Structure 1
Amino acid sequence: MPLWTVHHTPGIFSAEEKHGLAAAIADHYQEVGLPRFYVVVLFHELRPEDFHIGGEPAPVGVRVVIDHIARRLPDERSRRRTARWIREMLQPRLERHDGLQWEFHVDETSADLWMINGLVPPPGGSEAERRWAQDNAATAY
């Protein structure tokens, strides 16, 4: 499951922009073979007095925390490619804001501690996972 948590100050994203970004993120993961419903994107709007960078309130800021659980990136090349894709996904949506500082990072969490609707997700690339992707739902396997 990719979980994207987007912390941002007010005015960075409209409702339509949030939906567009979330859909584009889900599109990418679906294209690489993950069930679309694995992708969760949460937007957390924070007042500037609640968003500090370097110990100071930030009038405009974005911090994206991404948890990858369903897959692990096997090597540095894959990690760099993923970082470039994330940058390319975010940069055009953020660079229009003057003075905006933004950053992201990706954590790879153990799939051993992951369930959906009480079910252990099927192994990556398995027939059961392909069925989950096709049905866009978690079902017993």
Structure 2
Amino acid sequence: MPLWTIHHTPAVFTADDKHQLAARIADHYEKVGLPRFYVVTLFQETRPEDCYVGGEPTRAGVRVVIDHIARHNPDQESRRRTAQWIKGILGPHLEQHTGLHWEFHVDETSADLWMINGIVPPPGGSEAERTWARENATSVY
């Protein structure tokens, strides 16, 4: 599952911005074969007085933490492509804000401790995973 947790100060995202960004993120993962419901995007608004960069309060900031569980990048070049893809997804939403500090990082987490609706997800690329993607729902396999 990709889990995107987007910590942000107020006025960075409208409700429509959030919906567009979350849909765009899910679109990408669906294109590479993951079920859409694997993709979870959480927007966590943080008050400016609770957001510090370098020990100093930040008026406008975004920190994105991404957990990749369903798939991992096998090498440095694929990790660089993933980072560029993420920059391309976030950039249009964030670069329009003057003075905004923004950053992201990706953790590649073991799938051994992952379940959806109490079911261990099927192996990546398997027929069972393709069924989940096609039906956009979990099922026993």
* CA deviation after TM superposition for structure 1 residue 113, in Å: 0.4
What does 1:42-81 align with in structure 2 at a 5 Å threshold? Answer: 42-81=42-81
Aligned to 2:100: 100
Q: Distance in 1 between the 2:63 and 2:14 partners? A: 17
Runs of 4+ in 1 over 2 A off after TM superposition: none
Q: Distance in 1 between the 2:133 and 2:6 partners? A: 25
* CA deviation after TM superposition for structure 1 residue 19, in Å: 0.2
* CA deviation after TM superposition for structure 1 residue 86, in Å: 0.2
Q: Deviations over 1:28-72 (max 9, x none)?
A: 000000000000000000110011111111100000000000011
- What number of residue pairs does the alignment pair up? 141
Which residue type is aligned with residue 46 of structure 1?
A: T
Q: Distance in 2 between the 1:101 and 1:136 partners? A: 36
- 1:97 partner SS: coil
Gaps of at least 5 residues in structure 1 are none
Which residue type is aligned with residue 29 of structure 1?
A: Y
Alignment TM-score, normalising by the size of structure 2 = 0.99
Q: CA RMSD in A?
A: 0.4
What does 1:22-41 align with in structure 2 at a 5 Å threshold? Answer: 22-41=22-41
Aligned to 1:2: 2
Q: Distance in 2 between the 1:111 and 1:46 partners? A: 29
Which residue type is aligned with residue 86 of structure 1?
A: I
Give me the identity figure in percent. 72
Q: Distance in 2 between the 1:43 and 1:76 partners? A: 29
Aligned to 2:84: 84
Q: Distance in 1 between the 2:93 and 2:74 partners? A: 29
Which residue type is aligned with residue 65 of structure 1?
A: V
Gaps of at least 5 residues in structure 2 are none
- 1:102 partner SS: strand
Which residue type is aligned with residue 137 of structure 2?
A: A
Aligned to 1:21: 21
Q: Deviations over 1:78-124 (max 9, x none)?
A: 10000000001111110111110100000000000000000000000
